[in-house]
Chain A
């Protein structure tokens, strides 16, 4: 990969630099251009990523489809995030006409998206660490800088300290992987894993490193055991920031996990090494149940969405645990969905679907904040359908999609994961996912019921929210339905991304592999009982 492959990220970072300076301009009208600059930068990055996703680009880089999926996701969903935060979240007083942090906010947002966008383009543990922190560092600042309220300060401190802790944990894991392979280059580590697995099982130091990486990154994706921060931080942060948090670090964390497990060649099946995919599966199940059951107990909408985001991490972890292998007996071409989708394709599809539907739900919450002061609990949205039918409609569609109702993109996302689980002979996992979807329906429908069946508790005072905000909710809702009915484009990108991850180690998959370490040969047929199959 040459520098041309990093064009979307360079555009985003350049736009961030321009916005940062623009935000310091003494004229308020110039400062107001920050949003437009962010929008323009992301559109340009999206176009660049789209051109890079064309077949034949960077053929020597095997994970390229995954990389472009990350770029498209970052710039595409980033566009919606910019629209959703058009009304600046960092005003000290609601009466102020401008926030001092307008430029900084959008610059940070773009930097974080650039980190997500380059996530799958890294080929080195050091670079992976820096990209992950480039995603997280701006979000720490965005949470802590919000609203000047004690809740935001508390959320910021919690988020930052726990984030630093988790970064230390997975960096420690990286250092063990380095100690195991003698290099931070992905190609060398993959070769080392391959040699060790061919000889029996990898040394404990490599497995401990892997476990620490999973543990540390489970913070980024808000999965058990590092999920505790999510409700407090989601509640304390300004709502546009929460919407951003619900999607960016999670997407980055999952792509990072794919990259890390790709180093093992997805072949951890011997007695000791097999514990890693088993642990992943167990984490997925626990995360689903913890998120969904605790969400039932919440009254605050942002907390409900926080626990729901934990639960959705569980579904995606399950897809990750299924790995990249296609079930050999069940590949019938021409069947949409079919069994031609592997766990990672299902994960990528779900990631995009989750981003759209959760962003749509949060966009409606932001819209209501602008309208009614604070729509934080069930009373705040009671009777919404009568007062703001369109907003209630958008919210309802997004919630139905989060449940997984047919006709929405959320349904297809769950369907693909269940299909992948059945194809990989994990019927119990499929059943658990369906049970959890049913539990989740309870609390999502409670919100819908409050909007449609209850009368408004207090008359809603009308303020004028930005058109862009309405646009973001509408576009997200439209895409939720559109991709639910016509998933073609999203499906193709996800399948390409998921299938680009090799299921068998081959030196050819690792361009630029150091010639020093030659892998011990392993017959291709020795793939029986690999990874989690």
Chain B
């Protein structure tokens, strides 16, 4: 998966909201800077400029967030996004930083773990949007099922015992092409979202404000799910807990190094049977 970087814009509120405005140049520039910073950070096999790339990325991200915050707090969406508050920026920052980690870390297993972090923070963003089911499904499918498969493959395919990883694991293939394709695509999405007049896509979010209030009053979403689980499926839930405990015990048993039992648990104090 490719990172989704910076819904950021250096543009002014007026520039974005103005009817008939085209994609402003600040946004284009921010995307380009992001592309350059990511290209610098991608593993090339030899260290060069990655710190500089990271610095560029952090600056662009921070600037983008400030711009976004200013724009949202004055626009017609202010009421809609107010309940999310600071959490949106926190989780968005975690998601973006982890996404960079996914593509930039030289060791595949860490990339997979960064991907878990991306999934979890995106799930948090979905919860902020009241899309709780989407959030749960995202975690179950991506962090649960797909990632376990990834990790299996990585474990089976990577050499152990201090042998350095193969070139194709350490160096990204065609970084320039990948960055170009993904950021051109990103630019197209940003053009659609912010480049034109405010249209139905953005305004559809506005009712969310009232949605928050309604959800708090009614017994909906995750709360209802939890109540249902404990009211009607209490025994299966307990059973699932036992199943997970067993799996955990099994994982420890199978992955533990085989050492003499005396060293692990303690000395023999009775003669052998």
Contacts and interface: CB of A to CB of B under 8 A. Distances in A.
B247 interface: yes
B268 interface: yes
B104 to A, nearest CB: 32
A124 interface: yes
A248 B268 CA distance: 33
Contacts of B262: 98
Contact of B269 (A29, A107, A111): A29
B181 interface: no
Interface stretch (A138-146, A228-236, A503-511): A138-146
Nearest to A101: B253
Contact of A141 (B253, B261, B269): B253
B243 A100 contact: no
B55 interface: no
Contacts of B267: 28
Contact of A27 (B253, B269, B271): B269
Given A107-B249, A137-B246, A140-B250, A130 B240 contact: yes
A146 to B, nearest CB: 10
A126 B236 contact: yes
B242 interface: yes
A98 B268 contact: yes
Interface in B229-273: 233, 235-236, 239-240, 242-243, 246-247, 249-250, 253-254, 256, 258-262, 264-273
B137 to A, nearest CB: 15
Nearest to B247: A137
Contacts of B259: 100
Contacts of A464: 273
Interface in A137-159: 137-138, 140-141, 144-145, 148, 156
- Give the contact-size bracket for chain B: 20 to 34
Contact of B260 (A96, A124, A134, A156): A96
A92 B262 CA distance: 12
B269 to A, nearest CB: 6
Contacts of A27: 266, 269
B242 A100 contact: no
Contact of B243 (A29, A87, A134, A145): A134
A251 interface: no
A28 B268 contact: yes
Contact of A100 (B233, B250, B265, B273): B265
A319 interface: no
A127 interface: yes
A144 B254 contact: yes
Interface in A263-311: none
Given A28-B266, A28-B270, A111-B242, A98 B249 contact: no
Contacts of A137: 243, 246-247, 250
B250 A141 contact: yes
Given A130-B239, A141-B253, A100 B264 contact: yes
A77 interface: no
B270 A104 contact: no
A315 B267 CA distance: 50
Interface of B: 233, 235-236, 239-240, 242-243, 246-247, 249-250, 253-254, 256, 258-262, 264-273
Interface of A: 6, 13, 20, 24-29, 31-32, 87, 92, 96-101, 104, 107-108, 111, 124, 126-127, 130-131, 133-134, 137-138, 140-141, 144-145, 148, 156, 464, 466
18 contacts: A25-B266, A27-B269, A28-B269, A31-B265, A96-B260, A96-B261, A97-B261, A97-B272, A98-B268, A99-B261, A100-B259, A100-B261, A100-B264, A107-B249, A127-B239, A130-B239, A131-B239, A466-B273
Given A97-B261, A126-B233, 18 more contacts: A24-B265, A25-B266, A26-B266, A27-B266, A28-B266, A31-B265, A92-B260, A96-B260, A98-B262, A98-B265, A100-B259, A108-B246, A126-B236, A127-B239, A134-B242, A137-B243, A137-B250, A141-B246
Q: Return the 9 tightest CB-CB contacts between A and B, nearest first.
A: A26-B266, A141-B250, A97-B272, A100-B261, A130-B239, A127-B236, A28-B268, A145-B253, A29-B270
